[in-house]
Every structure is written in C-alpha cells, then in structure tokens.
Structure 1
Amino acid sequence: MQEVDDATYQGALVIVTDTANAPRISDERFAMGDKLIKIDHHPNEEPYGDLMWVQAAASSCSEIIAEFWQLFPEELHMTKEAARLLYAGIVGDTGRFLYPASSPHTLRIAADLIDFGFDYAALNRQIEQISRNVARLSGYVYENLQIDPSGAAYVTFSTEMLENYGVSDAQTSGVVPLPGTIENVLAWAIFVQQPEGYYRARMRSKGPAINGIAKRYHGGGHDLASGANVRDLEEAQKLYEEIQKACIDFPANN
C-alpha cells in the first residue's frame, strides 16, 4: 500500500469508500483533512463526513464511481487501467455477479468498462487464484463446518490454527463464500480469532437477513453479507443462535 505522510493529509480533501461507519476507517488521520467525502453502498445508518454519496442498492462502490464517470463523461477522463480496477471491484463485490445485488445496471456498467480493452478474462482468473495454503484452508472449512437442520452453519478459526496453515486474517476472506456452495445451507458465520483474543464474525446468507444480527454484535453490513465482532466463543455461540433463529423463521416469512 502507498505510504502517505501526515503533511499530505493536512488540510486535504479526504475521500473514504466502502466504509459504513467512521470507526472502521483504516487510517485515523482522515480527521486531519479539511473536508471528508463518504462514498458507500452499505445502509447509511451511521452517517459521517461533510458530503455523503450512499447508494445501498448498488453492488459496489466501484459501480457508484463508474456511474459518476458516466454522468460526466466530458469532465472526467477514464483510463484503461482505471476501468480495469473498477471492473475488478465490481467482480469482487458481486462474487462474479452471483450475488443478488448484481442488477442489470451493474452488468451494463461492467460491459462499458470492458469496452476499454483490458483483458477481463485474465483479470477474472487472477481474482480467482488462491494460494496453496488457502486451498488447504478450504478443505478445513468443508471438513469442519457445523451445519444445523435449520440451514445455519458455522466454522471457527483460532489464531493457532491459522498460523499452522500459514494463512493471514485477510486471506480468510477467500473461503467465506464456501459454505454457500453446500445445498441446504441458508446462512453462515466464519469466526476468525484476532491476535487480541476476540473473534471477527464474517457472515453471509442466501436468504435470511443477517445485518440486524450483525448490528447487535458491534457490526453491520448488507442484508446478505455482514460482519461483526464477538468477545469470545461464548458470545460467538449466542450470535450463531440468532442465525439459527433467522433460518428457522425464513421459510415462514417467504
């Protein structure tokens, strides 16, 4: 990641993307700027910034930014590399256009970006590449996933286990979609222990809304893709029980 010194932040216009609330902004120096713009596609339940552009129905912030370019094609110059990166952002956030947030508008924007001539097939392959260690972790998920008759499921990664597999916390994001490939699994959580001892809960769903659950555990997100934090395995169990209830209630509500 590019290093940015304090002087660059001082008095600057700071733009934060894909971050639902201020505490999740990765660099606290954003507060040193004169103005702050929030661009996001999560529900705007914790507003921040001097200007907010939030489209909760958008598939990704990349879609929002590409749409901004489409609105002002004469004023804004789109390069081949910028188009490639925006396309990658859309593909990543939509799970290769598998998630419900992938709308006809999303696909049209992706097509417009492809028109810039980058090798989108090679980019798709690159996005899907995983290390051998992550491949081994995928096997662990399938082998150890606990599945409830309600359709709820979970698996837990301790820091010791991740160290043994040679996988970082960030790399675990690559295995989060895997439980959804199993039939009868409706919603799931992957609990990843952090060095401080607490657990990050990566939550996904194929139907039941889970963002309300995430909010009750210091998190939030979309209806079908959210994140939360729990103090320990006891609290993780309580979160999972709420996922179970959401799965049980889902058929009755649909």
Structure 2
Amino acid sequence: MCKREIAKKIEAYDTIIIHRHVRPDPDALGSQAGLAEIIKATFPDKEVRMVGDADPSLEFLTVMDEVDDATYKEALVIVCDTANKARVDDQRYKQGKELIKIDHHPNVDEYGDIQWVDTDSSSTCEMIYEFYLSMKDNGYKLTEAAARLIYAGIVGDTGRFLYPSTTARTLEFAADLVQYPFNRPELYDGMYNTQLNVARLKGYILQNFTVSASGSCTVKLTKEIMEQYDVTVLETSQLVSMLGDIEGILAWAFFVEEDDLIRVRMRSKGPVVNSIAALHDGGGHPMAAGASAKSWEETEQIAEELEKACLEFR
C-alpha cells in the first residue's frame, strides 16, 4: 500500500527533491540517485533534484545538484536511508510541501507524511528496486544508470552479500540488476580500490589493535595519526569492516577524531550495537551503527558498554 501511495505523490508533483543522510555510503547515494533516475526516466517533464554535501571518494557514483530555497516551496521531498532527522543531509528537507521517508533502518524518528520503513530489507536500494517492480506495470522505467546505482547500494550494504541481511530476495534482485550492461568491474574498482595512504593506515591498525577476552575491540584514530598517514575522516569509513575477519573479535568500534567531536563507527558479529549508539547521539542496525562522542572520556564509556554487550552475548 505504501508503495502505491508514494507513486501517487510522485505522479502528483512537478518538482521532487531527494535527500539522504550525512556522510553518505553507496546505499545512501544509490537509493537517492537510483530513485531519481527512475523518476526522470518515467516522467521526463518533472524536475528531479538531489541534494547533500559532496564526497569526492563517491563521485564516481553520482553528483549532487544545486537547489535554491525557493524550489522547495511546491516540491515533494523524499528522504532515503535516514532513520534520524538530525542525520538528514541538508535540513531544508522540512521546507517541502510534502515529505516521504524511505528507509531500512529501525524507525528511530517518525517523520514524513508517508513513511515506508522495512527493516527486513538488506538496504534502502533493495526497497527502491522493490518499488520499481511494483510499479513497472504502471509504466515506471528502470535505466542502466538506475540499475548500476541500485546494485552498488545493495552490494555496499550487504558487504558484497556476506552479511546476514542478505536474503534470497536480495540475491534475486541482484541477479535482475546485473542483466543491465553497466560495467561491474569498474563499479567494484570505484567501491573497493584502496589508496596507498589508506592501505598504510590499515597496516598501522593491524599492528596496534587489541582484543579483550570478551571479544570487544576498539581502534583510536586521532587527528595526529590521520595526519601522519595523510588520511581524511571520510576515507576512514573504508576501514571499518577490516576487523570482521579476525578470529576472536565479536564487536568493534572505531573512534575517529574530528574538529568538534569524535565519530564512532561500530560493527558486530552478534552483540547488539545500535542500542549503544542510541545512548550517544546515534543509531543504525543491530550489528552496524554509528554515534558521536564529545570527548575521549566518552569513548572509554562506549568501550565499556561494548565490552558489556560482548560479555552478555557470550
């Protein structure tokens, strides 16, 4: 029912502005831009725009548009892949005439005139493809560009189909999408090629991480360390999953120092981590979440909470 209601709103508006979360990943960009491509192909006379801060490392996927404030006045706004209102990139999303939320995270903040939240989906991109399938008999079109973007988001949020969130439906959708003739090796290169500076920082992390008896692990990346390896805060997002293959680690957290806070990225192979993130201005999935700490003392508290979660899981 939700998908039909969303389609009716898309069909009713001449201007549609699509948002996603801050510090985007392939699922955020893929769902945002994939949906934009579907709408533009189906309704070429509509004005469809995407907004959000640029991430140079992901511009091989898509590039954002410039949108002035006046454009929002009569626009339909759609926010993809964002559970928390505070994490919507570009807070002008509130200025549209109507608002739709499409997301696969737990429904932390209820916002929007229509909310389509499906925590059983591997990714918001999987939901966008599901939306297309439900509407294709009504004339909705999926282009090669849309297929590439949606596939990228599914691959990214499933860890190349390794995560438990990958279902038979996920694989069926991926099989559909690869029938479009986009360049998969080139896409994988963009998503997974590692720059030398990032590779060297990986080496530092592998030489310096420790694992507690319970299986919790933390990594501290200060400004000084990132400057030493010439790695930006954005580039550190490529490192978060690297500890998942190491024997004995159940859950881990990266603490990345920014100018005004410490970014916390958590992953798990069992213990629930999004409940910890929720205590520290964050959220996410049970086994993949993000948060913010105001001080290194707060990161020590998070480390203790992570240790407790691992002990309880064992």
Counterpart contact for 1:42–1:54, Cα < 8 Å: yes
State, as a whole percentage, how many aligned pairs show the same letter: 48
Greater mean deviation of Cα atoms: 184-193 or 241-250: 241-250
Cα distance, 1:3–1:130 mapped onto 2, change above 3 Å: farther
What secondary structure is seen at the aligned counterpart in 1 of 2:66? coil
1:158-198 deviation per Cα after TM superposition (whole angstroms, max 9, x unaligned): 123212322121111100001112111000000011111x2
Partner of 1:153: 217
Structure 2 residue identity aligned to 1:38: K
Counterpart contact for 2:83–2:109, Cα < 8 Å: yes
What secondary structure is seen at the aligned counterpart in 2 of 1:177? helix
Q: Distance in 1 between matches of 2:263 and 2:210?
A: 18
Partner of 1:96: 160
Counterpart contact for 2:211–2:248, Cα < 8 Å: no
1:188-216 deviation per Cα after TM superposition (whole angstroms, max 9, x unaligned): 000011111x2111000001111111111
What secondary structure is seen at the aligned counterpart in 1 of 2:244? helix
Partner of 1:174: 238
Counterpart contact for 1:18–1:39, Cα < 8 Å: yes
Partner of 2:287: 224
TM-score between the two structures when normalised by the length of structure 2 = 0.77
Counterpart contact for 1:11–1:32, Cα < 8 Å: no
Structure 1: gaps spanning 5 or more residues = none
The number of residues matched between the two structures is 250
Higher RCO (CA-CA < 8 Å; seq separation 6+)? 2
Partner of 1:76: 140
Greater mean deviation of Cα atoms: 177-186 or 136-145: 136-145
What secondary structure is seen at the aligned counterpart in 1 of 2:99? strand
Structure 2: gaps spanning 5 or more residues = 1-63
- Aligned equivalent of 2:298, options 235, 241, 249: 235
Q: Are 1:50 and 2:119 counterparts? A: no
Q: Distance in 2 between matches of 1:9 and 1:166?
A: 39
Partner of 1:12: 75
Q: Are 1:63 and 2:126 counterparts? A: yes
Structure 1 residue identity aligned to 2:81: D
Per the TM alignment, residue 17 of structure 1 is displaced from its structure 2 partner at its CA by: 0.6
Greater mean deviation of Cα atoms: 177-186 or 5-14: 5-14
Per the TM alignment, residue 23 of structure 1 is displaced from its structure 2 partner at its CA by: 0.8
What secondary structure is seen at the aligned counterpart in 2 of 1:182? coil
Counterpart contact for 1:9–1:33, Cα < 8 Å: yes
Q: Distance in 2 between matches of 1:168 and 1:8?
A: 33
Q: Are 1:127 and 2:188 counterparts? A: no
Which ranges of 4 or more aligned residues in structure 1 deviate by more than 4 Å?
none
Partner of 2:43: none
